[in-house]
Amino acid sequence: MLGRVNHIAIAVPDLAAATAIYRDTLGARVSQAQALPEHGVTVVFVELPNTKVELLEPLGENSPIAAFLEKSPFGGMHHICYEVDDIIVARDSLRAAGARVLGDGNPKTGAHGKPVLFLHPKDFNGTLVELEQV
Ligand code: CO
């Protein structure tokens, strides 16, 4: 079912500061910031030769990463995103195996304009998993 690691996401309290660390201190290419109101975050992507790192900053009142940053005020690893060929087939087979899909179970459009779903961390070794159809 799983393909490549599409990205690893890190929640950050200050996206401009985090961008500067990756761009200026670590010398990586970092994308323009992109507001995703439907997901309650603003994101940039650090573009690496083999994958991407997504830096997430809360956006709006009910950001899903606000509670995470309360517990980890300096930021921290938030989720890992795996690519799948068919997100509906993946969702249905994971549900049949007892895994919990977050939200209403319908894919949303992610930062790359592709369908994404999130899986409950309790079912995946304490890691929030994002699936992205590519
Ligand atoms: Co992501």
pTM here is 0.93
Q: How far is the CA of 54 from the centre of ligand 1 (A)?
A: 6
Across the range 102-115, mean pLDDT stands at 92
pLDDT 10s digits, 53-86: 999 999 998 899 999 999 999 999 999 999 999 9
The domains located in the chain, with CATH, are 5-133 (3.10.180.10)
Q: How far is the CA of 98 from the centre of ligand 1 (A)?
A: 23
As residues whose CB is below 5 A from the ion ligand 1, the structure lists 9, 54, 81, 130
Q: How far is the CA of 25 from the centre of ligand 1 (A)?
A: 23
Which pLDDT does position 112 carry in this prediction?
Answer: 87
Contacts (Cβ under 8 Å, ≥6 apart) of 53: 7, 8, 9, 10, 22, 45, 46
pLDDT 10s digits, 16-44: 999 999 999 999 999 999 999 988 999 99
Is 47 among the residues known to form the active site?
no
